[in-house]
Amino acid sequence: MKLLVISPHLDDAALSCAWLLQHHPWSRVVSVFAGMPPNALTVSTDWDRNCGFASAGAAIEARRYEDGCACQKLDADPIWLDFADGQYGRQPRQAALEEQFESILEKADGAVVVIPLGLHHPDHIAVSDAALVALQRQQRTCIAYHETPYRALPGVVEKRITCLTAAGFSLQALSELSGSIAWKNGVVETYASQWPRLQIDALLDARDVLRPERFSTVATPRQYRRDRPTAVMRSFRRPYLVSSQPQLDKNHRLLRQSGEGSYERETYEDWNS
């Protein structure tokens, strides 16, 4: 089963979904904010300068090269959209993102769609919101990855889940996914301009990148028993589960609680039936 992974920036999919992509070769990774901003040769930001770039143009060129190398290690095909990163000015209109995602979904060829949950960063929230609108219009479910390292910030995941459930979406937690730390570290280090900068960011815990990956399924109430991404769920079953059996049993009990918490009551086995 192939995946269609939506990545806000030129590294987010690899940071948050490398082990998932490892189990689904020849998937596609769509990086949204991968385009050149206006005046790319003259505009510059603090982030780019701290990463060693004199201009946005130099940064985008280098980051695309890094992403291409990382996708080779992931056996994935990179797709770079022309939207400019939010750090360079105004974000694109939400309608433009929605239209672009609808076009991409129409060509998805049955791939399971994996999107960012939409944590903390304005670009991540914009991409997640637009993707969910496009998916809803096409009556499709998806898997959402909890973006690292933002997921480690206190209360960020809970706040986003509360927003989505209030908007009518049904979320169900999946088992954590892990693999070789050395292998993923090799993928992450491919982003040579970004990884060192993330490691010294005072706000973020860069160590979270090498912790188990986390995912939820997302569906609207109308979609809840339709169009399920079933085959890909085998990635979250043994031998790749890293949680202990007692913890998994506890997770299952939590998911079965009647109406409590943010997640729906179906169990993991229901998604594989």
Residue 98 has pLDDT above 60, yes or no: yes
Helix ranges (H only) for the chain are 12-22, 46-50, 56-74, 94-106, 122-137, 156-166, 181-188, 195-199, 245-256, 268-271
3-state DSSP call for residue 254? helix
Measured distance CA(208)–CA(86) in Å, rounded: 24
Average pLDDT score over residue span 9-20:
95
Per-residue pLDDT, 193: 87
Mean pLDDT of the chain: 79
Residue 60 has pLDDT above 60, yes or no: yes
The residue segments making up the domain with residue 35 are 3-271
Selection from 70, 77, 63 nearest residue 35 by Cα: 63
Per-residue pLDDT, 265: 27
Confidence of residue 182 (pLDDT cuts 50, 70, 90): very high
Tell whether the torsion through CA atoms of 15, 69, 53 and 199 is positive or negative. positive
Per-residue pLDDT, 46: 79
Give me 27's structure tokens. 């998937």
Average pLDDT score over residue span 76-100:
88
Per-residue pLDDT, 48: 78
Which DSSP letter does residue 84 get? B
Per-residue pLDDT, 129: 94
Confidence of residue 112 (pLDDT cuts 50, 70, 90): very high
Residue 75 has pLDDT above 90, yes or no: yes
Confidence of residue 56 (pLDDT cuts 50, 70, 90): confident
Per-residue pLDDT, 223: 53
Per-residue pLDDT, 118: 96
102: CATH: 3.40.50.10320
Per-residue pLDDT, 222: 64
Per-residue pLDDT, 92: 81
Residue 3 has pLDDT above 90, yes or no: yes
Of the listed ranges 62-66, 171-175, 256-260, the least confidently predicted one is 256-260
pLDDT in tens, 198-224: 766 656 777 899 999 999 999 875 654
Look at the chain and report how many structural domains it folds into. 1
Per-residue pLDDT, 65: 93
Selection from 22, 5, 11 nearest residue 196 by Cα: 11
Q: 133 versus 240: which is more confidently predicted?
A: 133
- Of the CA atoms within 13 Å of residue 30, those in its CB half-sphere come to 24
3-state DSSP call for residue 270? helix
